[in-house]
Chain A
Amino acid sequence: MNRRRFLKVLGATSGGAAALSGCGIGPEPTEHLVPYVVPPEDQVPGTATYYATTCRECAAGCGLHAKVREGRVIKLEGNPESPINEGRLCSRGQAALQGLYNPDRITDPMARGPNGEWQKLSWDDAIGRLAGKVKEARGRGIVFLTGLEPGSFGELVDAWVKEVGGRHVTHESFAFEALREGNRRAFGTAAIPLYDFARARYIVSFGADFMETWLSPVGYQNSFTRAHSFDGDRDTLMAKFVFVGPRLSLTGMSADEWIAAKPATEALLALAMAQVILAGRLAPAPLDAGRLERLLPTPQRVAPVVGIAAAEIERLAREFAASQGGLAVGGGVATQYGDGAELLVVAVNILNYVAGQVGKTVRFGPNQAVADAGTFRQLTDLVADLAAGKVELLLVHGANPGHTLPAAFSQALSKVGYKVSFASYWDETAAASDLVLPDLHPLEQWSDSRPRTGIHALQQPVMQPVFPNTMHTGDVLLRVAGKAGTFKDYLQSRWKELHQRVGKGRDFADFWTDALQHGGLYAEAPAQPVRLDPGVVQLLGDVGGAGSGAADEPLLIVFPSLALHDGRGANKPWLQELPDPVSKITWHAWVEVHPETAAKWQLANGDILLLKSPHGTVRAPVWITPGIRPGVLAVPTGQGHKAYGRYAKDRSFNAFELLSDAPASFGGRAFAAPVAVVKTGDHRRLATVEGDAREQGRGIIEVLSLARARELKSGAHPFAEREVPGYAEDAQKAWAEAQHQKASLGDYAGTPPRWGMAIDLSKCTGCSACVTACYAENNLATVGEELVVRRRQMSWMRIERYYTADADGRRVGALVNPMLCQQCGNAPCEPVCPVYAAYHTPDGLNGQVYNRCVGTRYCANNCPYKVRYFNWFNFAEPGGEWESWPDPLNMLLNPDVTVREKGVMEKCTFCVQRIRGAQNRARLEDRSVRDGDITPACAQACPSEAIVFGDLHDRSSLVARLAADPRGYHVHSELNTKPAITYLARVMHGAARGA
């Protein structure tokens, strides 16, 4: 038996290690090469082309660069020219790819047959049917329900609906009605201004989750970090951030202080702060603010209601005013408790106003388009019309009320004569329709949007449609209306009008091409000064009497999921498998319970509770966390789909079922409800990736107080490497000698670079955009709920979250740390590999040669950071049990990275394919690689720019400078692993918290 035959037998019998090992290069099956007959001019095989377009995963409208290889888009990155996201992108935006290539997309127009079964149609037939129904229903109620469409498509729908005598309703699950209503009452405008976090020096968020789903999370996180990160060279102080809310959200985790005020009393806290500022003349308040002074409640009055000491309120107010750059924002559940929640926004507006910040950190003018979204009341009015049989024809595009308003909408739908859906997936609303006309994915279509005043963002098809028999809804509407031309022509006609106004006499073709290249037109919107509405005085009477406004406990709050949003992300495996940044739970929803409550009710993690609100009942597994106020329970949105494809369907529970179907006073929805809680006695293992909830003093995350950080002189090293114990000295000496010898051999001789990374924990927020970027760049398999429960997730980059508290359990906070391969200089994984698959590269990486690996897993066992991941199954096998990329999801695989097989260990290599790519390019240009040429996927996505990569041997590189920063430390430096990643300690206002 020769070696190859032996391996074959081994492979067949043990089904294990031989898959990728051995020589590998055996006779391959015959492959065919099919060339282009006419090569597209902008596609070079093997070279990526980038197209600028716009993200449509939420209303923020971030600019995208789509990376296209051989005619298929393989990665989405932020467009650095877009003023909204400045080249950064969140997990949801990156996962748009999995919407494009979703295996559950609707591929053809479908109609319900006589027995309710779905039948394929031709487009001519489908459009004919729709046109016939439109004709029939004219005058008998036609309604077009869309998502927020702030651009030409929305205008086309408006015009189309007008022509057929119907009405257009827009629906966004998170439409910020309270914010709009609060601004209207305080300033007389229902617009949503730009909050300039970058210029703020003191930030108070009353529940606003501006890093998750609030308005423009990527842009706000980016500018927040500019204000809130520590930079020793800077003269101004790092801004302080205070988070007020019943639940420590991702946004709250970045806070220097978390105040868990009693639910629904946040407005009183804001007003009392304003009172202190006015009464003490602490800030140059506008003249008309003076008359508020005696109307505002004093800290002494509100303290018992809010549940924090009056002195604390006074301190907050003084700090806010003294910073001369205060910014208060209100949002999240604080504006959605129910009736009267808009008063919080009024209170926050007053606070900003009396501190003289309106016009500075709060700027009306560059207004957010989401203020034009339909309110929840408009949706419920529509549902009432549907239920009353007043609507004969309902068309739905880009909205899924079948999930977000489950009971009421589904019932009402049965009263509608004919329902047409333009969905790309079988969501709940599409499944209940009569005719489905699948739209192109936003990455396949022409469109535009105006996410913020002054910004005209263009959307262009970045590739041919994945499913050729889908059609742009704009084209469908034009054909039904009997209009000539396509939606692209319509779009261009709109842009010609824009060109007339702002084109400055340029040729339109130039103007258009230019806009396409840059992703749109970006102009500064002129500022709009606002004054406090005199009517506020009456409102304050209401608030003053509030106090009784505090909600009863136990109170259940529903918070928006960062990854799944209102549920639209649930059909994308990257987002399902992305650990929630707070709970670290994947693939299912949970209910957050405070340890005291859990002790009282005798609950353990994973116990299933029956949550009964007046509106619905769900079964939810318990997750116990100190990051919630005792007496409050919290559940995320996003799961519990009844349809929506294989990844979303029948997963966990739908939190919307617990909410009232009636709009609150501000026209929005109450995201809180009183609940009765019943223990079921059932239990499940949470699909969590969390190890220990506490850092336990292991030196994984270091924290400095601001005062201490500012004292540090360059060259100081407060986290100096720990002393080597005596018994290890010999070993260290031997190692150093071996290194010396090694450095004279072959590739190791000379001065190769030493790739390194610096991660600034004063910037990292834990948002996990880097995690999704890594999945996209490196072909990481999503393993599914069952394997996550068995701790077999493949995430090369993970965000570790540790809770902190004072000795008495108060002052709870959280710290986060991105953990990836440290590319140790003295790596424990390397010497234990029997086949040299794990080895040290000359440029300082811990290389992992997949085709060499035989799967002993010794390396993973020996890794103190636990950043090596083993392929227990063949995730790439078409049709296999654990298939991670069912057709056509496999089209998003990065051709520059090997797809690993079963039995192989894999890990982060600082995106070695990008390093080699940059080196190849530099070689072609006869130069050496420059600092900044190489950006790993994680660093590129990071909305807070916390990750810096480069050559540590290059003294002038940014990463070398950061590695020498006094705040720098290495995780587990006591193990003498010599990591290439330097973490810069987090800096906090006040005393550093213990772990």
Chain B
Amino acid sequence: MIAGSTPSHQAEIKKVREAWTSKQPPHWIRIHALPGFVRFPHMRHIKILGTESCRTCHGDVRAMPQVHQVATLKMGWCINCHVQRQVGRDCTLCHY
């Protein structure tokens, strides 16, 4: 979410607006990427953790001048959370 109060915010908003008027999609750089052999069902995590839970993995994107990765997204990091919450950690939950 871009608040729109500073010149740098304005510049970002302009990009989106131009994309809309020119019908040319902006090319975002992907920050959060998982390798091809991992499945991550967002809806299931949001269902359990609530709609405000984005920041659990993505950080407080609202407060970021530019989005950066806050969590490693490595398997150990995933598993830690699964262990803490006592939910499944079978390999084929994510790998198939």
Contact = CB atoms under 8 A, between A and B. Distances in A.
Interface of A: 20, 23-25, 28, 30-38, 46, 746-747, 839, 841-843, 845, 847, 849-852, 896-899, 909, 912-913, 916, 920, 923-924
Contact of A852 (B29, B35, B91): B91
Contacts of B43: 920, 924
A35 to B, nearest CB: 5
Contact of A33 (B29, B36, B39, B88): B29
Given A841-B92, A912-B96, A924-B47, 10 more contacts: A25-B75, A34-B26, A34-B28, A37-B20, A842-B88, A851-B37, A851-B95, A920-B43, A923-B47, A924-B44
A885 to B, nearest CB: 14
A684 B55 CA distance: 63
Contact of A912 (B29, B37, B92): B92
A25 B92 CA distance: 17
B13 interface: no
A747 B88 contact: yes
Interface string B60-93: 0000000000000111000000000000111111
Contact of B28 (A33, A843, A913): A33
A909 B96 contact: yes
Contact of A847 (B19, B33, B44, B92): B92
Contacts of B26: 34-35
A846 to B, nearest CB: 10
A904 to B, nearest CB: 10
B96 A897 contact: yes
Interface in B22-67: 23-30, 33-37, 39, 41-44, 47
Pick the 7 closest A-B CB pairs, nearest first: A31-B30, A33-B28, A898-B37, A847-B92, A851-B37, A912-B96, A32-B27
B74 A32 contact: no
A939 B44 CA distance: 27
A37 B33 contact: no
8 contacts: A32-B27, A34-B27, A34-B28, A35-B28, A847-B90, A909-B96, A920-B44, A924-B44
A35 B92 contact: no
A851 B91 CA distance: 10
B37 A850 contact: yes
Contact of A28 (B19, B28, B35, B89): B35
Contacts of A845: 92
Contacts of A20: 37
A211 B10 CA distance: 66
A37 B23 contact: yes
A475 B33 CA distance: 43
A440 B78 CA distance: 46
Contacts of A924: 43-44, 47
Contacts of A30: 29-30
A920 B94 CA distance: 12
A899 B90 contact: no
A842 B88 CA distance: 9
Given A23-B74, A32-B29, A37-B24, A849 B95 contact: yes
Contacts of A28: 33, 35
Contacts of B20: 37
Given A849-B92, A898-B36, A920 B25 contact: no
Given A37-B20, A898-B36, A898-B96, A847 B91 contact: yes
B89 A747 contact: yes
Given A898-B36, A913-B96, A916-B93, A25 B27 contact: no
Given A746-B89, A898-B36, A37 B73 contact: no
A852 B19 CA distance: 42
Nearest to A46: B42
Nearest to A911: B96
Contact of B90 (A34, A841, A850): A841
A24 B35 contact: yes
Contacts of B47: 923-924
A714 to B, nearest CB: 35
Given A28-B35, A851-B37, A898-B37, A34 B92 contact: no
A20 B95 CA distance: 13
A700 B34 CA distance: 42
A829 to B, nearest CB: 15
B66 to A, nearest CB: 15
B25 A36 contact: yes
Contacts of B41: 916, 920
Given A841-B91, A898-B36, A923-B47, A37 B96 contact: no
A896 B30 CA distance: 20
A291 to B, nearest CB: 68
Given A849-B91, A924-B44, A25 B35 contact: yes
A30 B20 CA distance: 24
A916 B19 contact: no
A34 B29 CA distance: 9
Nearest to A32: B27
Nearest to B28: A33
B57 to A, nearest CB: 14
A916 B94 CA distance: 9
A24 B41 CA distance: 20
A35 B36 CA distance: 20
A894 to B, nearest CB: 11
B45 to A, nearest CB: 10
Nearest to A913: B96
Contacts of B96: 896-898, 909, 912-913, 916
Contacts of A747: 88-90
Given A896-B39, A899-B36, A35 B93 contact: no
Nearest to A897: B96
A37 B21 CA distance: 10
A348 to B, nearest CB: 50
A20 B34 CA distance: 14
B91 A923 contact: no
B27 A33 contact: yes
Contacts of B35: 24-25, 28, 851
Contacts of B75: 25
A427 to B, nearest CB: 36
Nearest to A836: B91
B31 to A, nearest CB: 9
Contacts of A35: 25-26, 28
A23 B96 CA distance: 16
Contacts of A842: 88, 90
Nearest to A842: B90
A909 B92 CA distance: 10
Nearest to B21: A37
Nearest to B92: A847
Contacts of A46: 42
B44 A923 contact: yes
Contacts of B19: 37
A31 B33 contact: yes
A842 B47 CA distance: 23
A899 to B, nearest CB: 7
A38 B19 CA distance: 11
B30 A32 contact: yes
Nearest to B41: A920
Contacts of A923: 44, 47
B46 to A, nearest CB: 9
Contacts of A746: 89
A33 B47 CA distance: 25
A69 B22 CA distance: 26
Residue in A34, A35, A37, A46 with the greatest tally of chain B CB atoms within 10 Å: A37
Nearest to A917: B41
A46 B39 CA distance: 11
Nearest to A843: B90
B15 to A, nearest CB: 12
Contacts of A913: 39, 96
Contacts of A849: 91-92, 95
A28 B26 CA distance: 21
Nearest to B87: A747
A929 to B, nearest CB: 13
A113 B64 CA distance: 61
